[in-house]
Structures are given as C-alpha cells and as structure tokens.
Chain A
Amino acid sequence: MDNIAGQRSTLTWIVHITVAALVALWLFPTVGLFVSSFRTGDQISASGWWRALGSSEQNLTFRAAAPDTQEEEGGLYVIEGNLFDGGEPLNVSAWGISARAVDAFEPGTTAELRKGGTITLSPDGSYRMENSEPFTGKRGQRIFIAAVVAPEFTLENYNNLLFEAGQGEGMGEAFINTLTVTIPATIIPILVAAFAAYALAWMEFPGRALLIAIIVGLLVVPLQLALIPLLKLHLGIGIGKGYLGVWMAHTGFGMPLAIYLLRNYMAGLPRDLIENARVDGATEFQIFTKLILPLSFPALASFAIFQFLWTWNDLLVAKVFLIDSTGQTTVMTARIVEMLGTRGGNWEILATAAFVSIAVPLAVFFAMQRYLVRGLLAGSVK
C-alpha cells in the first residue's frame, strides 16, 4: 500500500509541475509584450525584456562640454565636467570615444583624441580633456560608456501613443473608431436574432426544421466568400465604404451563431411556463418581451461577448467594408498591421499599441469569463 501512495504523490507532483510549465509557456509571450510597453525604446533594444526586472548593463552615449568652455591652465587647454550632471549618477564600467569601439578603455585611464590631446574619464563620470593647442569645433567630444542601469519603467509610451498630438500614429483616434464599430455591431444583431430564435424554438410552423438546418450550415460558411459580392452590393446601393456598411456586415455575419446559441437556450426553457402564459391570454409579443427575454439573459450575454470580441478583434471585415482611401476611419487592428510594416523595429510603439488594443478584450474576458465558457459549450455543434 505504501508503494501505491508513494506513486500517487509523485504523480501529483508531476501534474503540478507540468501545469505550471504550460501556464508559464502560455503567459510568457504576452507578459513580454506587456513589460516591453513600459520600457523606453533604448532599453528594449539594449536587452531582452526578461532582464528589465533586474539591473542591466547598457551602452549610453554622451557629449563632453563644447570647446568654447575650455580654459587655459599653465599652457594647457582644458575642458572639465561630469557626464552625469543633471541626470542619474551611474558607475562607468567601460568607455570609448569611437562608435566602432564603445568599450575600448577602462575607467580612470587616459585616451588619445583623434584630433590631438587626451581625455581621462573617471568611474563616476567626471572627465578631463587636455591639449597643448586650443580645442576647435562647435560640438563637444562624443563619449560612449557602458554602465549598469537600474530597472526603470515608464508610462511615457502610453502617453505618447494616446495623448500626444502628431506622435500617436492615430492610435487614439483608431481606438474611438474601433469602439464606434463595435458597440452597434454587438447590440443590433442580438435583438434581431432573439426574435428569430424565439420563433424557431417555440412556434410550430412548416419548414422550421429545414430553417434550423440551414442556419447550422451557414455557421461555417467562410466570410471570405461574402467580401466581393457585398462590397459590390454596398457600392451599388450607395452605402460605399463606411460605418453603416461595416455594421450591417457584422450583423449579417454574426447572425447564424446568434440564432443558433439563443435558439438552443430558449428551447431548453420550461414548456409549462410558456404554455401557461399562452393560456392566460398573453400575446406572443408579450411572452417574448416579458418572459423569454429576461430568462434568456445568460445566453444573450454569451453571444454579446462573442460578438464583441469578434468585432473588436476583426481586421478583414474592417479592411474591406470600412477603411477607405482617406484612412480617417481606420481601426486599431489595421493601424497595428501598418505599423508592423513601417515601424517593425520600434518595439516601444508596437508593444504599446498592441497592448492598448488587447486591453479591452482582456478586461471583458476576465470579467465575464463564465458567460464566455457557457456560450462556447452551447455554441459548438454537438
């Protein structure tokens, strides 16, 4: 018996460790983006985000004071100062005076300047340049240093992206646009589908079974098929590209799932309740609004979450039916794809933009996960 108990506890440990590893693996990429969005561009390109939580050694560039500050000391022309004046004091671990050898010298040593003279840099960042001839030129000598920098997080990226005019790549605007697409495209189909679902669940009429079969079939029709015919239709009836078109398209594309989910749920409501109401003389419209609609709240919520996530996250429908050549109506997903093309290396902008766009669905997800799970269980064709 001891043996079996021992086996069981080993197995339990393996399960715990495996699940922990899987969860870590699943979270790791998202956390990376999240951490990166709070780092400056220099920090991101200097070290991996997983190092951001501790100190990291970074290469920084400074300039010594300009030649017009030089003083003459007993025949020598001297420029003195400290690189970290007015900033965070750092401890220099290596330094250089050429971009090709940024860590050529130890702190405290003296280097020959290319244009004549010498420079000495102490570990605390104070430097002294000496020359027997006057220093010339307008700008100060460039100095590269390597130093250990404490972890530092900033909200600057979010501020730049959302609130600075001209810097935000239009993300603030795109956020509003996405919201404008999403809300009507979530509310309208619910109402239309609820009435239809009630008819399919609780009214007897010829052709009902066939209609339900057709709706199940339409559930999997790829919306790619609808792009050209509907764009043609929208252009033909004068809607063109715009919000009206995208709302109608989302309503149509969301309809099969909405009807299917709601019908399944409504069909499961107790028969007595509805029969009694009919016997009591309630009209079908009253039964629907006073009885069915309140009772179906969980199913309505499930579909609302689905439709919200789907319209918020959508790229294809917005690209085809909404975004015209002026680009005024662009949504966040489309902006981010553009940025991936033009700003591929600027991770501080990309990470922040992506996080702004996924923050809202994530909030909805964690707040209403129960309904989402219930909807998934009801919505997959069994």
Chain B
Amino acid sequence: MNPVMLGLITIVTGVVGCIGYFFLSNLILDAVLPARGPNAGRNINRANLIRPWLFLLPALTALSLYLAYPVIETLRLSLLDRVQGGGYVWAGFDNYSQMLGEPKFWEAMRNNLLWLIVVPAAATALGLLVAQLTDRIAWGNIAKSLIFMPMAISFVGASVIWKLVYDARPEGSDQIGVLNALYVWMSGEGPQTWLTFPFWNNFFLMVVLIWIQTGFAMVILSAALRGIPEETVEAAILDGANPFQVFFRIKVPQIKNTILVVWTTITVTVLKVFDIVFAMTNGQWETQVLANYMYDKMFRANDWGVGSAAAMVVMLLVTPILVWNVRNARREMR
C-alpha cells in the first residue's frame, strides 16, 4: 500500500480509536455503575476509583512497553550472549568485562567526559550572556529569535552546515570553508583538515552542539532573569554596585536553581548525542562517544550483549540526574 495512504488511515484509525476507546469505556462505566438509584453513593465512589485508570490505560501501556520494559530488558540482555542460530546463554558480566577491555570504549568514555564538561558549561554560559545582554536592547527579541533558531535544525542538518565551515581544499586553491579561509589568511600556513586531529577534533564537534543548545539555555535563563524582583537590582544600584557586580552578585545567585536545571537538561542531551558524531566523523580519528559506540556494537558488529552493556553505562550516568529531577518535582508538588 502507498505509505501516504497508510499514514492517513493510521491517523484516522488512531484518532477515532482513541476517542472511541475513551468514550465507550466511560459510557460502559456509567452504565454499570449508574450515579442514581438506591446505590448511587456507593456507585459514584467506585466509578471514581476506576475512571482515572480508564483515562490512563493507553498512556501507561505505551510508557511501560516503550520505556520501562526496555530498561529491564536491556539489563537482562547485557548479561546474556546470543548464540549462533538463535537463543541466548547466560554470560554474567562477560559483556561488561569485554567492553572494559576495549580501548575504543575508554576512548568513548574519555570523550564523553569531555563533552559533559565542555558543552553544558559553554552553552549555559553563552545562553546566560545572551539572555542578559538582549534584555536591555530594543532589538533583543529579534537577536534572541536568531540565536534560538538552530534549535529547529536537525543534528544532521547542523552537521552538514558545520562540515562546510570546516571544509579543507588542497593547499594553493581557494578555501571554501570559512575556518580554513580565515586560518590561511591569518597564519599564512596551509589549510588544515580540522576533523582529523585527535583530541582537538572533539572540540570542533562540540561546537555544533553548543551552537544548537545555547538558544535553549538562553530562552529559559531569560525568563528567569525577568522573574527577578526589580527592587533587589535597584537597591544594589543605589548602593553603588557596577553592572558586573549587579549581574554576578545579585542576579546570578537568584537564578541559581534555573541555571542548574538548564545545566542538567543539556547534560542529558549530551549523554544521548549520537547524530553529530555519526554524521561528521563516525567515531574516526578518536572522536568516539558512548552513544555511537553503542550503535556500532548493536547494529554493525551485531553484538547485542556488549551494545546493551554500553547502553546500561549511559543509563547509569543519567541516573543521578533522574533521581534529582524526581526529588525536585515531588518537592514542587507539595
């Protein structure tokens, strides 16, 4: 069948199915436990106990099947080995020890650590800078909108955009990549293939993610800056504080929590970063990261055991943030 038709049919079936399910299940509940007659009171109480679960059922099914179950299944797979011709055998921690013995894994860990330090710090700092600066100028909203724009661009699109920036042509011919054009013009030396220098090439990849995430940090921090009570700033100015003191001593401490939220959100994004490395270097020249290492193991080497073990490492790294988020959300609800 034509996929477009299939898509249309799916939309209609999905929407009609959803509404039909909610409508019918509520109708049946009202019919079985009517809110009138001799048992009205008891019926209402019972219906109120059941109804939330009718509303929740489809969403909970999707959540448990697509997110909760995979966590457990991945843990299980990471402790198994696939045998030729189907079936699994218990492997204990063999997959983990095999993974820990691979230099590529440690390269990915080292790079991920670098990403985790550099990207959230740079994106948050730049976002804060832009948020503060654009707050006080007339065309601030246009500037914000343009810096926010890369958020809409896919990681793959961004990779193409930045590959053009890093492009290198043979020495002597006109450089078409901005970076090399500048470099040749300023240093007078030959063009460089930036993405092939081990270690430093990581930073050229990080620039792409910083470029994308700065807008996100800016939007959230800008709202937080606006929420700061005017009086605190005015009082500081009356006391003779200069603009830098107002910013670092008065404003930043008051939005500390928001900064932390932005930082952790970008941290989670960094841990999952896959597309940029996959599209730009595919982990060559020592730019491997965990997510791409895992993809390599799962779908190129077809080693589900080690792939799952790598996925568990990513999960483990996310867990502190997960716990922190849950605790924050609970405190806020109280």
A contact residues vs B (CB 8 Å cutoff): 11-12, 15-16, 18-20, 22-23, 26-30, 32-33, 36, 44-50, 176-177, 179-180, 183-184, 187-189, 191-193, 195-196, 198-200, 203-205, 208-209, 211-230, 232-233, 243-244, 247-249, 251-253, 255-256, 259, 283-285, 288, 309, 312-316, 319-320, 329, 333, 336-337, 340, 347, 350-351, 353-354, 357-358, 361-362, 364-366, 369, 372-373, 376-377, 380-382
Cα–Cα distance between A199 and B52 once the two chains are bound (Å):
5
Whether B145 lies near A369 (C-beta < 8 A) is: yes
Cα–Cα distance between A369 and B142 once the two chains are bound (Å):
12
> Which residues 30-74 of B have a CB within 8 angstroms of A?
30, 48-49, 51-53, 55-56, 58-60, 62-63, 65-71, 73-74
Q: Report the minimal beta-carbon distance from A147 to chain B, rounded to whole angstroms.
A: 15
Pick the residue among B126, B294, B333 that contacts A212 (CB under 8 A).
B333
Whether A225 lies near B62 (C-beta < 8 A) is: no
Whether A191 lies near B137 (C-beta < 8 A) is: no
Q: Report the minimal beta-carbon distance from A209 to chain B, rounded to whole angstroms.
A: 7
Q: Report the minimal beta-carbon distance from A13 to chain B, rounded to whole angstroms.
A: 11
Whether A195 lies near B163 (C-beta < 8 A) is: no
Whether B156 lies near A337 (C-beta < 8 A) is: yes
Whether B62 lies near A251 (C-beta < 8 A) is: yes
CB neighbours of A380 from chain B (8 A): 220, 261-262, 265
Q: Which of B219, B262, B271, B326 is packed against the most chain A CB atoms within 10 Å?
A: B326
CB neighbours of A209 from chain B (8 A): 330, 333
Whether A48 lies near B307 (C-beta < 8 A) is: no
Whether B18 lies near A188 (C-beta < 8 A) is: yes
* Interface presence of B23 (CB below 8 A): yes
Q: Which of B67, B149, B178 is packed against the most chain A CB atoms within 10 Å?
A: B67
Cα–Cα distance between A232 and B258 once the two chains are bound (Å):
40
Whether A19 lies near B140 (C-beta < 8 A) is: yes
CB neighbours of B307 from chain A (8 A): 228
Interface majority SS (helix, strand, loop, mixed), chain A: helix
Once A247-B10, A283-B26, A377-B223 are accepted as A-B contacts, the answer to whether A382 and B160 lie under 8 Å apart by CB is no
A-B pairs with beta carbons under 8 Å apart, 24 shown = A19-B143, A32-B165, A176-B3, A187-B14, A193-B59, A199-B56, A205-B48, A213-B329, A217-B326, A218-B67, A221-B315, A222-B271, A224-B274, A232-B73, A251-B62, A252-B65, A284-B51, A309-B152, A315-B156, A357-B156, A362-B152, A362-B153, A376-B220, A381-B325
Q: Report the minimal beta-carbon distance from A378 to chain B, rounded to whole angstroms.
A: 10
CB neighbours of B157 from chain A (8 A): 313, 333, 336, 354, 357-358
Cα–Cα distance between A184 and B7 once the two chains are bound (Å):
7
Cβ-closest chain B residue relative to A260: B329
CB neighbours of A19 from chain B (8 A): 130, 133-134, 137, 140, 143
Whether A243 lies near B329 (C-beta < 8 A) is: no
CB neighbours of B14 from chain A (8 A): 184, 187-188, 191
Cα–Cα distance between A377 and B226 once the two chains are bound (Å):
13
Whether A337 lies near B279 (C-beta < 8 A) is: yes
Once A243-B10, A253-B66 are accepted as A-B contacts, the answer to whether A33 and B164 lie under 8 Å apart by CB is yes
* Interface presence of B116 (CB below 8 A): no
Q: Report the minimal beta-carbon distance from A281 to chain B, rounded to whole angstroms.
A: 9
Whether A243 lies near B3 (C-beta < 8 A) is: yes
Cα–Cα distance between A244 and B10 once the two chains are bound (Å):
8
Whether B294 lies near A44 (C-beta < 8 A) is: no
Cβ-closest chain A residue relative to B147: A26
Whether A252 lies near B67 (C-beta < 8 A) is: yes
Q: Report the minimal beta-carbon distance from A108 to chain B, rounded to whole angstroms.
A: 26
CB neighbours of A45 from chain B (8 A): 169, 176
